[in-house]
Structure 1
């Protein structure tokens, strides 16, 4: 461990997260108990880059060790008015009878939501409280939008440590997504 820095990406260069995002997808696959093969189609291009480009607002913060990325957090603000019930192509159909999409069927689900999409710290850096720091910075950014009433985090199945991390920080379990492939938590 050398010189650890935390940098907000201001120039749109999210390419520096490609390797880390792909590591995250492989990590999630290794933890998954339901449909791990679904992660085979998930990577930087299909998940992070696509979300970054389509969001109303995006923030990426990168942790570097001597200039080399070792972790990141990626957050977005999205308008979900037309996609509340949509199911992406990659989504597994675990239970066709109860295949809920990303968002709950609340009476008042706002059209504009915040989302902490990815938080990943490379092994060897996880005991340095960097995940907590990135989480705090992401939440500060998401909470800076006065018209964002709710923030969602979608946790892959099998990743109980991540789920417990978010629950211990004030998030509440909302629902299973795609028959339990993902667990949704929220904070309003």
Structure 2
């Protein structure tokens, strides 16, 4: 663990997460029981980069081993009004009548929400407590925004380990997204 560093991206250089994000999409595809082929349309450019660039605020933290990225967490603050009826290009269905989107049908959603978008570590780094550390750093940042009281996490279908991880940290199931392709979890600050 002597060579492990945790670094905040302060210069906008999220390109260092490209390979890791693409590995995450492949990992999610390998776990998926619903529409695994959809992950072929999901990659660094369509998921992380697009979300990073459109967010009001973003935070990326990278875990490195001897200077080489081996994991990361990406979190953001977004406006719900801009995304309430939007569907990403990779979405399995874009029909609001048959496919519930990212946000629940609650009567009142806050204007701004926090989102833990991606948390990924390569296999050999998963039993070192780094995932818990990245999660804690992400939550600390998300909770620092006084006008964003609600945090969402979206877990791909079949990734039961991640789903259970977030439930054990106080998150609650909200709804299925795109017919169960993704499970939405939420937590109020």
Query: Could you state the TM-score of these two structures normalised by the residue count of structure 2?
Result: 0.96
RMSD, aligned CA: 1.5
* Partners of 2:156 and 2:182 within 8 A in 1: yes
- TM-superposed CA distance for 1:107, in Å, is 1.1
Q: Show CA shifts across 1:140-184 (max 9, x none).
A: 000000000100000000000000000000000000000000000
> Counterpart in 2 of 1:55?
55
> Which residue does 2:131 correspond to in 1?
131
d(CA) in 2 for partners of 1:154, 1:102: 8
Q: Is the 8 A contact 1:6 1:61 kept in 2?
A: yes
Gaps of 5+ in 2: none
Partners of 2:47 and 2:170 in 1: how far apart?
Answer: 26
Q: Deviations over 1:63-86 (max 9, x none)?
A: 000100000000000012132122
Alignment-derived partner of residue 144 in structure 2? 144
In the aligned structure 1, how far is the partner of 2:76 from the partner of 2:151? 10
The unaligned stretches of length 5 or more in structure 1 are: none
Contact in 2 for aligned 1:95/1:178 (Cα 8 Å): no
Decide whether the 8 Å contact of 2:35 with 2:181 is kept in 1: yes
Supply the distance in 1 between the matched residues of 2:144 and 2:96 (Cα, whole angstroms). Answer: 38
1:84-130, Cα deviation, whole Å (9 max, x unpaired): 12222211139985410000010111121000000000010000010
Indicate the residue corresponding to 2:22 in structure 1: 22
- Residue in 1 aligned with 2:71? 71
Q: 2:46 aligns to what?
A: 46
SS at match of 1:187: strand
> Do the aligned partners of 1:174 and 1:184 also contact (CA within 8 Å) in 2?
yes
The alignment partner of 2:73 has SS state of strand
Q: Number of residues paired by the alignment?
A: 188
Within a 5 Å distance, the mapping from 1:1-188 to structure 2 comes to 3-93=3-93, 98-188=98-188
Contact 1:31 1:159 in 2 (8 A): yes
